[in-house]
């Protein structure tokens, strides 16, 4: 097992390529991993939201983790999502993904069930107590409809329950509160990662340890370059690279909002881009997402071209 | 297999008794089923929200369905929830609960993943195509953060995709739109059930086929009596009985909201009441719910006494 | 001044007819009042949400109240909305509408400013202390983004602060809690009115004192008939009449949702219907609402015809 | 009239000191203005959310603008909020505040009334057409429950309707879209200002023209210093100053959330701090806000001390 602490750098949430009949396309998945590793990323996060974890069966989830950890062979850390509604179900996923070789698990607040800060804390404590690997909290209000309170996260970090936070809330002010709180309290072994692909430079400038950008599937080199510019203190260069990536991210809106939701559009665009770039064999997304049409895919191609990607 | 169509009457979402170490307490579960059957209910719904389905592992879910269907032996229909985030995961649950003997499945809109009316329709069509038993749509915005649009439900009903709707939205105007729409369009084999325990009389008066009240675990006789009063057109008697049940429902607020969420409080109260009534052996709720304290349980007892239950 | 307590029966929120250049069309307004009085309504509510109060300047608001109270001359009670963000601004409106002759004021929870149950209570106490006429609480979460808690309303009613509740939340279970709470606590001089035009029969069956249905502008006779059927205990007849009105209410969706919001569509449809029925001279709605197009108006006409109105 | 274009730098939303009986305390207001000017701010924004505009009567609003513009005498630009529900009411405020000397007006999306992007655009076009001074859009979803779409803002800016955006949404990714969109399209005479006091450094690094931080009432020198550090490219120094200000901002949580809402707590803390610093005579906030208690005020004092303010 690879030590994941401290987590830092660019850790893409790895897309899950599917075959036309919606099975996991392992060869494409491994080519995608190679593409990311060649781009210089510092870790991998499988079974996240951009991985369509919510759409994968338990069998498919296991296959993804086994395939990726075996292929990576410890060269870089592999985190795995254990995305489910409540503690008992999450614990089953933790057991499954760690048996399959994951070096850390990423866990959201409870969802579907109505929750409460006291129950969120209880959830993470129970998961961490049973997990053989470090636990990273995943703050994603758009999916779970709860924002992880900064004070809850900091208390859990101080108590050694959490090894990190992946913040996909888009709320930089709250993110900063965790970053400075962890520093101010001298909490060690706790990493703060942003999941917002459009403000990675701001998050790193504010003290983040790293980023988990879905768009890094499409352009890992860009995010690694952005990370390096930030680390070297070249903030003007970082801003320019971030703005290029923001423009590229525009691809998530290629679809007609009367025809599908924003998730179908975004994941469809990422996969279309990976297909156009020759990384994966088939751009299919899981059911019940609506597929992109040809003109929408063509628009994805224009975003790639405008960003200098072919 | 028992034919579930047309679904009607009182169909409680059956609580899932747990042992102190949070395993399914099968003897208590079967006593609870007997208690409900003795109360005169017309069907059972296992693995719903009041059943803590969101908290049960796949193994526990299967055990619940197998135990209940075997015990009931076809005396009345058993619906089972197939509660998960998206189509592929729901299909695995459908396969599991129908193998375990469920006569129908109850399925929500996709959650966690952001959704869209077109994707909701696609979801139900795919589930129904693969399900060996009828599919009932479960409208529960408080859990999935989407309201099932009445026109989508009616189209799916007209196309034979849905055998029913369980509406836990609390929105009686929208509910009525489905009731009158189904009648107006002459859709047959489609039942409209309310999941709101506080307005069962109103829903039946508006034309509902039945009700799925969580509180019926505690007082099945009351809900059957309420149903019978409505069916006989004794609306004054129905209102009085409904108001008695509304007062009893007050038990869901026994807990201090600074200490736990409304779900922990409500499910904790239902189970405390079943324990106080001698139906189940242990009032434990699943993790990470916060347990009720003794004074809160005592207050549950007062609600029972005030409603004439001992 | 007309005594408004106890408020009961059908009390339409009176639409505010405008001229083509968006001034209050007083002759049309008075014709609308005559149309409502001829329909048998029991009171009038000016400056509510269906009156476009949010769109009327202070001068226009005053003109509406003065015109209507002078025209009605005490024949039936006239309530006026005092719709604004916080206590000091509401108090100015209370002073203005009561100077103009209103018999009661209707007041929402604070909005724009973030609020809290303690502040809502404080708000109503301050307004009632300064108001020369009775105060009715207006529960309209779709506008103010807060639900009035039933326990807060009941405490204020018990303390003589509130003379009534107009509930436009659509939440019949919470509405019922206020109805039965007021009865159970023996609170007198407090009326509970539903603002949901689609469940007036259900609300009256549950014990409501009356209804404030926007659609009663278009069909006052229908709502008075519905009210009378409920009062006489003819619930089958009531349901049939309510269903006719529900079908008529479908007019609120005539507009293309890509072109305008639901408010523009609903208020545009009500005014188009009043124009088609010959009650008002011009169907214009206030800025920045988007006007209906001709085919949308034609569809309003079809709803009228289907409901037997010409 | 002072030309406000291009708006840039630190432009505090000026608190409105009140007397114990809740009238505008003009001498304290002018002392506060002097305090801000002495701190080096680049403009003033009266009648914003931090000014309690939602709580001020029309007379009080007029008095504030007249007092401040007369006192400032053109030394720096004075923007005034024209905060109301819809176009006709906003236009009345625009007329009032510009008659009182405001150099620009700040206008939110419609609220209370349900709105739509097409109606938001229509609203700003109508306001700008009638306003004698430039119009700044105010994006404050926490108050109006709508997020101004970036594409709508950019189109209005390109058409010369808007002179600026004050973004209090906290969504830096969307903010950045406006910043880079305006630059990319070569839109001139349009300023982008952040209203988020906790990420001013990030916003300026991303290309913002300035900031409108409520906390600058308490510590104008700090925000001017932060601004200057950003402008000089000293991002490490900026981050340290920003973090000091973030710690100071912690004062907004001094109150018990069971006793009042977050608005009462935050505005109460700002005014308590201004009172403790000797700038204003009385810390009263407007009704129906709940006042801070003595121990809460004492805690505000500790935040001041920890930030080096006495």
Report all structural domains of chain A as residue ranges with CATH numbers, in order of start.
9-235 (3.20.20.70)
Residue B107 main-chain phi, psi, to 5 deg = -135, 130
Prediction ipTM score: 0.97
Asked if D189 has any chain C CB less than 8 Å from its own CB, the reply is no
Q: Answer whether D1 touches A (CB < 8 Å).
A: no
Nearest CA in chain D to A206: D239
Contacts of C176 in chain B (CB under 8 A): 198-199, 243, 246
pLDDT of residue C2: 63
Whether C115 sits inside 8 A of D142 (CB atoms) is: no
Closest to D115 (Cα-Cα) out of D87, D84, D146: D146
Nearest to C198 among B173, B207, B235 (CB): B173
Residue of chain A minimizing CA distance to B57: A89
C260 touching D, CB under 8 A?
yes
Length of chain B in terms of residues written = 310
Determine the pLDDT at residue B310.
76
Is C92 within 8 Å of chain B by CB?
no
Q: Do C205 and B239 touch (CB under 8 A)?
A: yes
The mean pLDDT of chain D is 97
List chains touching B (3+ CB pairs under 8 A).
Answer: A, C
Percent of chain B past pLDDT 70, that is, above it, reads: 98
Distance, CA of D261 to CA of D255 (rounded, Å) = 9
Kindly tell me the sign of the dihedral angle through the C-alpha atoms of B265, B267, B270, B273.
Answer: negative
The per-residue pLDDT for range D121-176, each reduced to its tens digit, is: 999 999 999 999 999 999 999 999 999 999 999 999 999 999 999 999 999 999 99
Residues of chain C with confidence (pLDDT) below 70:
1-2, 5
Residue D1 has pLDDT above 60, yes or no: no
Cα–Cα distance for residue pair B175/B168, rounded to 1 Å: 9
Q: In chain C, which residues have their Cβ closer than 8 Å to the Cβ of B176?
A: 198-199, 243, 246
Burial class (CB in 10 A: 0-12, 13-18, 19+), A177: buried
Maximum alpha-carbon separation in chain A: 53
Q: How many residues does chain D have?
A: 310
pLDDT at A5: 67
Using the beta-carbon criterion (under 8 Å), do A173 and D239 form an inter-chain contact? no
DSSP state of B10: E
Q: Is A111 on the interface with D (CB under 8 A)?
A: no
Q: Exposed, middle or buried: residue B75 (CB in 10 Å: 0-12, 13-18, 19+)?
A: exposed
Total beta-carbon pairs less than 8 A apart between chain A and chain D: 65
- What does the pLDDT read at residue A2? 63
Report how far residue C116's alpha carbon sits from residue C139's, in angstroms, rounded to the nearest whole number.
Answer: 14
Using CB atoms, pick whichever of D116, D142, D290 lies closest to residue C118: D290
- How far apart CA C306 and CA C218 sit, in angstroms, is 14
Contact B176 C199 (CB under 8 A): yes
- Does the pTM of the predicted model rise above 0.90? yes
Contacts B196 to C, Cβ<8 Å: 173
Residue A107 β-bridge partners: A137
- Mean pLDDT across D234-261: 97
pLDDT for D6 equals 79
Buried b (16+ CB within 10 A) or exposed e, C104-141: bbbbbbbbbbbbbbbbbbbbbbbbbeebebbbbbbbbb
Q: What value does the mean pLDDT take over residues D82-104? A: 98
What would the pLDDT profile of C204-223 be if each residue is shown by its tens digit?
Answer: 999 999 999 999 999 999 99
Instruction: Write down the pLDDT at residue C6.
Output: 79
Q: Quick check: B263 and A113 CB within 8 A?
A: yes
Q: Is D286 on the interface with C (CB under 8 A)?
A: yes
Q: For C36-55, how does the pLDDT look when each residue is reduced to its tens digit (9 = 90+)? A: 999 999 999 999 999 999 99
Name which residue leads in pLDDT, A17 or D2: A17
Of C172, C180, C246, the CB nearest to B202: C172
For residue C305, what are its two tokens?
Answer: 């015809």
Test A126 with B88 for CB contact under 8 angstroms: no
The H or E element spanning position C218 is none
Quick check: B173 contacting C, CB < 8 Å?
yes
Q: Around B236, how many Cα atoms within 13 Å sit in the side-chain half-sphere?
A: 5
pLDDT for A49 equals: 96
pLDDT digits (tens, 9 = 90+) for B245-281: 999 999 999 999 999 999 999 999 999 999 999 999 9
Position A113 scores a pLDDT of 94
Given a cut of 70, the residues of chain A with pLDDT beneath it are: 1-2, 5
3-state secondary structure B87-106: HHHHHHHHHHHHHCCCCEEE
SS3 annotation, chain A? CCCCCCCCEECCECCCCECCCCCECHHHHHHHHHHHHHCCCCCEEECCCCCCHHHCCHHHHHHHHHHHHHHHCCCCCEEEECCCCCHHHHHHHHHHHHHCCCCEEEEECCCCCCCCHHHHHHHHHHHHHHCCCCEEEEECHHHHCCCCCHHHHHHHHHCCCCCEEEECCCEHHHHHHHHHHHHHCCCCCCEEEECCCCCHHHHHHCCCCEECCHHHHCCHHHHHHHHHHHHCCCHHHHHHHHHHHHHHHHHHHCCCCCCCCHHHHHHHHHHHHHHHCCCCCCCCCCCCCCCCCHHHHHHHHHHHHHCCCC
Residue in the block written with tokens 């000089």:
D232
A148 CB-near residues (< 8 Å, 6+ apart): A109, A120, A137, A139, A165, A169
Residue B27 DSSP SS3:
helix
End-to-end CA distance of chain B: 36
Handedness of CA D53, D56, D58, D62 (dihedral sign): negative
Alpha-carbon distance D61 to D53, whole Å? 7
- What CA–CA distance (Å, rounded) separates B37 from B31? 10
**B161 in A contact zone (CB under 8 Å):** no
Nearest CB to D172: which of A177, A202, A243? A202
Q: How would you class D118 by CB atoms within 10 Å of its CB: exposed for 0-12, middle for 13-18, buried for 19 or more? A: middle
Q: Which of residues 219-258 of B touch C (CB under 8 A)?
A: 233, 235, 239, 243, 246-247
Sign of CA dihedral C116, C121, C126, C127: positive
Is C117 an interface residue toward B (CB < 8 Å)? no
Which residue ranges of chain B lie beneath pLDDT 70?
1-2, 5
- By Cβ distance, the residue of A173, A198, A239 closest to D198 is A173
| Residue B172 to residue B155: CA distance in whole angstroms | 19
Instruction: Tell me if chain C has a CB within 8 Å of the CB of D50.
Output: no
The kind and range of the H/E element at D284 are: none
- Chain A: give the shortest CA distance to residue B132, in Å: 19
How far, in Å, CA of A36 to CA of A280, rounded? 12
Nearest to C288 among D55, D123, D286 (CB): D123
| Tokens matching residue B226 | 């309420």
């Amino acid at each position: 097992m690879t030590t994941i602490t401290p987590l830092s750098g660019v850790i893409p949430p790895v897309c899950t390529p599917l075959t036309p009949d919606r099975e996991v396309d392992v060869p494409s998945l491994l080519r995608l991993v190679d593409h990311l590793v060649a781009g210089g990323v510092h870790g991998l996060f499988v079974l996240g939201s951009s991985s369509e974890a919510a759409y994968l069966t338990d069998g498919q989830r296991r296959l993804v983790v086994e395939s990726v950890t075996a292929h990576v062979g410890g060269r870089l850390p592999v985190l795995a999502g254990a995305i489910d509604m409540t503690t008992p179900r999450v614990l089953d996923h933790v057991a499954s993904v760690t048996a399959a070789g994951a070096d850390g698990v990423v866990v959201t607040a409870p969802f579907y069930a109505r929750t409460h800060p006291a129950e969120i804390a209880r959830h993470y404590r129970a998961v961490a107590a049973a997990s053989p690997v470090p636990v990273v909290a995943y703050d994603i209000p758009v999916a779970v409809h709860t924002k992880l309170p900064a004070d809850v996260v900091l208390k859990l970090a101080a108590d050694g329950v959490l090894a990190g936070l992946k913040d996909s809330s888009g709320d930089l002010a709250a993110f900063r509160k965790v970053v400075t709180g962890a520093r101010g309290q001298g909490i060690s072994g706790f990493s703060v990662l942003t999941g917002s692909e459009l403000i990675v430079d701001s998050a790193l400038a504010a003290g983040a340890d790293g980023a988990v950008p879905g768009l890094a599937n499409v352009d890992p080199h860009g995010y690694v370059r952005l990370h390096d510019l930030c680390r070297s203190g070249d903030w003007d260069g970082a801003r320019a690279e971030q703005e290029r990536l923001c423009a590229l991210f525009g691809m998530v809106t290629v679809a007609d909002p009367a025809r599908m939701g924003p998730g179908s559009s975004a994941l469809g665009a990422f996969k279309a881009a990976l297909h156009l770039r020759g990384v994966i064999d088939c751009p299919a997304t899981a059911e019940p997402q609506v597929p992109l049409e040809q003109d929408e895919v063509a628009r994805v191609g224009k975003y790639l071209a405008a960003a200098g990607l072919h």
